[in-house]
Amino acid sequence: MRNTHATQLIFELSTAGRSGVNLPACDVPEQPREQWIPAELLNAESPELPEVTEPEVIRHFTNLSTLNMSVDTHYYPLGSCTMKYNPKRNERIAGWDGFAQLHPYQSEDSIQGMLQLLFELQQMLGEISGLPAVSLQPAAGAHGELAALMVASAYFKELGETRTKVLAPDSAHGTNPASARMAGFDFVTIRSQADGRVDLDHLRENLGDDTAVFMITNPSTLGLFDDQVQQIADLVHEQGGLIYLDGANMNAILGIARPGDFGADMMHFNPHKTFSGPHGGGGPGAGPICVTDTLRPFLPNPTVSYCQDSQAYYLDTGDDKSIGRVRSFFGNVGVLVRAYCYIRTHGPDGLKRVSEMAVLNANYLLSQVKEFLDVPHGDRCMHEFVASAEPIKEKTGLKQPAMDIAKRLLDYGFHPPTVYFPLTVHEGLMMEPTETESKQTLDAFAEVLKTIVNEPAETLQSAPHSTSIRRPDEVQAARQPIVKWTEATD
Ligand SMILES: *Cc1c(COP(=O)(O)O)cnc(C)c1O
C-alpha cells in the first residue's frame, strides 16, 4: 500500500520546460508588462511554480487522494460520527447550477426555488424533531449547540432570570461543555450510573433555580437510550430549566421517537451525519436547530417564511428578540440541499427504516464482537456500542490496547472505530456500522477484529505496517502538520 510517488511534493516532479496546457500562438504584438503594470507591483523574478504535464498533475492528485481512508474506499465504523455512505445522486443535485451558482445577494424573487427548499427543510426538521421552530443557520453541530444556548440565554433574560449553569452527563461529547462555556455559562458534569443512564440523584443534587439547561445526548454515545428522559425533563422543567437534546445520534430514532415528544425544548441535527452530507476534512457541515414555539422569537434571524398574499417565500427577520445572525447568508446551503434530497428520497417510512436498519446492524455487530471483547453495556444497543479492550492489557501487557487495535485495523483495510471516547469506558472502541453496510462487510470486520485481538503484542504495538505514515504524534500532527513525507516522519 505504501505509495512513495504520492508522497513527493508536486514541486519535486517539476522539469523545466514542461507544461500542462497548449496555448495557441500569440496573434497580437507582444508588449512589455511594464507598460501596463506599475513597476513597484511587478516581481523581479518569476514565481517558482512546478512545471508538469497534465498526466503528472492527475496522477499526483489521484495518488494523494488514496493516502487517506474514506467512506467511498473503506468500511468506516467511526462511532458517534455516523459515517454512512453518501449517495452520489445527492452530490449531483447539489451541484446543479440552479443551486450551486446562486449568489446570496440575488433578489428574493430570483431565488424562490432555493427559498422553497429551505422552507420545506425547516418544516421537515420540525416534524422529525417534534420541535416546530427551526433555524438552518448554524454551520455545525457544535455551532448549533452554541446558538441554542444563546437562545436559552436570551429567553431567560427576557424572563428577568439569572441562570448560570448548564449541566450534562459525563458521557457527553466534548462540544457540550465547550459550547456552554462559550455561551457564558458554568458547566457541571452529572455522573452516569453503572448501567450508563443518568444518575438521577446526582442530577437532583445539582438542580436549582440557577439551572439554565440540561444537555442530554439520547441515545447516548454509549449507544443506549436513556428511558428516564421524560422524568429528567420533568425534574429540569420543575426548576424552570430547559432541556437541550444533542441530536448527533438521531440516526437511531428517525421516525420512531421525537425529542419534542420526550421532553426536549431545543436540539440540533447534524445533517453531515444523519442526512448524508459529506463528512470530515473540516467541513463544511451544518447544525440546524429546532426549538419549541415558546423559544421561536429568540431564534437566529432571518428564517424562511411563506407569504400567502404574494404567494412567495421570503427571508423573515422575525422578532426583535432574535439573537441575530450566527452565520453569513443562509448557512451552509450545499449541505442543506443534500439533507433535503436525502429526506425527500426516503420519506417518512424510509427514514424509519434507515434507523431500524442502523440499529439492527449495530446489534448484529455487537453480537459478534462481544464474543472476544468486553462490552460493558452490551446486552442490546441502539445505533452504536462501546467495546472495551481493557482485558487485553492483562493478557498481552500492552499499555494502550485500544490504540494498538485501531492502528492494526489500518493494515487490514478498515478504518478504526472511535477510540477512548466516551471517557467512561476504559480502552473504549466505539463502533457504529450504520445502515449502509452489508452483512458480508460486518462479518469481515468482526473476523479481522477477532484475528487482531489474538495477534502477538509486538505485531500490534508496531502497527500499522502498511501505511505511508506510521504513528505520528497526533497532537503535533494537528497543530504543526509536516506535509512533506520523509523517512524521518515515518
Ligand atoms: C459530532 C457530535 C457533535 C458535534 O457535531 P459537529 O457537527 O462535529 O460540530 C456533538 N455531539 C455529539 C454527540 C457528536 O457525535
Q: What is the pLDDT of residue 473?
A: 87
Q: Which atom of ligand 1 is nearest to the CA of 175?
A: 10
Q: Which atom of ligand 1 is nearest to the CA of 143?
A: 9
**Buried b / exposed e along 285-315 (16+ C-beta atoms within 10 A):** bbbbbbbbeebbbbbbbbbbeeeeeeeebbb
Pocket residues: Cβ below 6 A from ligand 1: 80, 140-142, 173, 175, 217, 221, 246, 248, 270, 285, 287
Q: Angle of helix 175-182 relative to helix 141-159, nearest 10 degrees?
A: 40
Q: What is the pLDDT of residue 485?
A: 61
Nearest CA to ligand 1 atom 15: 80
Cα(217) to centroid(ligand 1), Å: 10
Cα(173) to centroid(ligand 1), Å: 7
78 exposure class (CB count in 10 Å sphere: 0-12, 13-18, 19+): buried
Q: Which atom of ligand 1 is nearest to the CA of 217?
A: 13
Superfamily of segment(s) 351-479: Aspartate Aminotransferase, domain 1 (3.90.1150.10)
Cα(297) to centroid(ligand 1), Å: 25
Tens of pLDDT, residue by residue over 117-157, are: 999 999 999 999 999 999 999 999 999 999 999 999 999 99
Q: Which of 209, 226, 210, 228 is nearest to 218 (CA)?
A: 226
Q: Which atom of ligand 1 is nearest to the CA of 145?
A: 10
Mutate which of 270, 336, 382 for ligand 1? The one with the most ligand atoms within 8 Å of its CB, which is 270
Cα(22) to centroid(ligand 1), Å: 47
Cα(140) to centroid(ligand 1), Å: 8
Q: What is the pLDDT of residue 378?
A: 83
Q: Which of 257, 262, 226, 292 is nearest to 128 (CA)?
A: 257
Torsion sign, CA atoms 376, 381, 382, 385: positive
Nearest CA to ligand 1 atom 3: 141
Q: Which atom of ligand 1 is nearest to the CA of 246?
A: 11
Nearest CA to ligand 1 atom 14: 248
Cα(39) to centroid(ligand 1), Å: 52
Mutate which of 136, 171, 173 for ligand 1? The one with the most ligand atoms within 8 Å of its CB, which is 173
Nearest CA to ligand 1 atom 2: 248
The reply to whether CATH 2.30.29.30 applies to domain 91-345 is no
Q: Which of 366, 447, 462, 371 is nearest to 412 (CA)?
A: 447
The whole-angstrom separation of Cα 405 and Cα 393 is 12
Q: What letter does residue 39 receive in the DSSP assignment?
A: G
Cα(338) to centroid(ligand 1), Å: 18
Mutate which of 78, 80, 251, 269 for ligand 1? The one with the most ligand atoms within 8 Å of its CB, which is 80
240 is written with which cell numbers? 424552570
Cα(248) to centroid(ligand 1), Å: 6
Q: Where are the alpha helices (DSSP H) in 315-417?
A: 333-369, 390-396, 401-411
Cα(280) to centroid(ligand 1), Å: 12
Cα(397) to centroid(ligand 1), Å: 34
Domain-wise residue ranges, the chain: 4-65, 91-345, 351-479
The whole-angstrom separation of Cα 302 and Cα 329 is 9
Q: Where are the alpha helices (DSSP H) in 25-79?
A: 54-65
Which residues of the chain are modeled with pLDDT < 50?
1-3, 488-490
> Residue 307: what are its φ and ψ, rounded to 5°?
-100, 115
Q: Which atom of ligand 1 is nearest to the CA of 286?
A: 7
Output the pTM of the full model.
0.91
Nearest CA to ligand 1 atom 6: 141
R_g over Cα of the chain:
26
Q: What is the pLDDT of residue 5?
A: 54
Q: Which atom of ligand 1 is nearest to the CA of 82?
A: 15
Cα(402) to centroid(ligand 1), Å: 22
> Residue 158: what are its φ and ψ, rounded to 5°?
-60, -40
Q: What is the pLDDT of residue 257?
A: 98
Cα(178) to centroid(ligand 1), Å: 12
